[in-house]
Amino acid sequence: MNVAWVQQTFESMVRVEKSGLRLGKGQILQGTVKQLYPNNLATIQYGSIPVNARLEVGLVRDRTYWFEVASTGGIPKLKVLNSSQSATSQALPGSSEALVNEWRLQKSGVEDKLLRMFTASGVPFSRSHIIEGASLFHNSPYPEKTTVHTLSHMAQNQLPFTKETFMSLAVLDGGGSTGHSLEQLLTALKGQPEHASLVQSLEKAFTGMSESNGRPIFPPPLHTFLSSLGLLYERNLQQKGAGGETAENLKARLLQFLGEKGITEEQRGLARSLVHRLTGMQLLNIDNNHSLHHHLFYIPVKFGDLTQNVTIQWEGRKNEEGGWDSNHCRILFYLELEGLKETIADVHIQQRIVTLTLFNQFPEPVTALEKFKPLLEAALLKGDYRLSSVHWKQPDDHNRETKRTIPQKKGFHKGIDIRV
């Protein structure tokens, strides 16, 4: 089975909503002046994104510059760095070397490496990202590839460059699974009645929970399950205070456990790793979109004696209360099945009508699907949904469809207006 294809297919099917640049004050970005127009207007190329800008300083066409975000209110204002250098200077103002010199960073060191990596990936960053990122890099227990990928994600999503944030995201990128971590901690706590409440929370993570009160953001029973893991822990704390039901979820139990004396280093390490995994999933799902939900979770599921992660990624409209609109959404499931191996289930819901597309490298199991459809229809009807169709696609089918349906972005007419 081509695992790389499955992962690439899963990622390519996820729509990334980019209505514009997410810029924060003090961030740095590298852009090339592509066109100059009358009235001090210009087009600046930032990576693959064209930026329509109004210039307040004289710039040179086809030259690359470093821009610092001076403010983000309304149309963001950008300040040109190295503007004191002449247009004929051999040291290009927009080169990585120029910024390394201005910030007095160690050449050929980690800071220089991170600066070039952020620049190459088109990620806006700040000087503090480079300095703090270098410290995290030096102290990272993970391989270099995982470390730089995590730091890039933190910068791109404007997350704090702290050890807790880094460890929580890196553990998800570094392999393993939440289910395996749960089982390891359960094994380490066996035969210790003083930790019965935590053991109960760990066991319930596989079996589900009772219904939660209040109006959920996610449709039950998923909301109940996420709440039981503690993935809604901080939000529930704000709504209910530090007591009550919040103490019943797994993350709260783990934090209490880590504050206890007398636990072994093995138990502490396993519990801390599990907290990092739960926190990492929360960080992946910070919602900055006012009209859409977009979430990704790695949920432990037990099939007989086999424990594995089921990766669920979904997006959908928000209703008037800011909650989940169950009439219109898309859900992607990444599964590893005993017989069919790696499989992607792509579920589209429009007006409560469901279209299911299964992606797998094996030939379509026609007989099995025909037996499966009535069961699926009956299950969906219980939730007031109607099954429209079930499709089976193999890798070549998906590749052809991708080439046919995904247009290439050309031209500068869909740029972003920024005042420089």
Residue 185 has pLDDT above 70, yes or no: yes
Q: Beta 306-318 vs 353-359: how paired, if at all?
A: unpaired
Higher pLDDT, 58 or 245: 58
Average pLDDT over residues 68-82: 71
CA torsion angle for 168, 172, 175, 178 (degrees, to 10)?
90
pLDDT digits (tens, 9 = 90+) for 1-39: 444 454 555 555 544 444 456 677 888 888 888 888 777
pLDDT digits (tens, 9 = 90+) for 285-325: 776 555 556 677 777 766 666 666 778 887 777 777 767 78
pLDDT confidence of residue 262: 86
pLDDT digits (tens, 9 = 90+) for 219-272: 445 666 666 676 665 555 555 554 444 456 888 889 999 999 889 999 999 999
Q: Are 192 and 202 in contact (CB under 8 A)?
A: no
Burial group, residue 39, by CB count within 10 angstroms (0-12, 13-18, 19+): exposed
Helices (H) and strands (E) in the chain, counts: 14, 12
Average pLDDT over residues 368-395: 92
Mean pLDDT over the full length of the chain: 75
Lowest mean pLDDT among 269-278, 301-310, 348-357: 301-310
E strand residue ranges, 152-216 = none
pLDDT confidence of residue 163: 95
Give the confidence band of 90 by pLDDT, cuts at 50, 70, 90.
very low
E strand residue ranges, 244-352 = 292-303, 306-318, 324-337, 341-350
Class of domain 28-99: mainly beta
- Tokens matching residue 164: 């807790």
Give the confidence band of 401 by pLDDT, cuts at 50, 70, 90.
very low
User: For residue 369, how far is the Cα from the chain centroid?
Assistant: 33
pLDDT confidence of residue 117: 85
Average pLDDT over residues 363-367: 92
Question: How big is the chain, counted in residues?
Answer: 420
Lowest mean pLDDT among 8-22, 101-115, 207-221: 207-221
What's the sign of the alpha-carbon dihedral 220, 346, 297, 290? negative
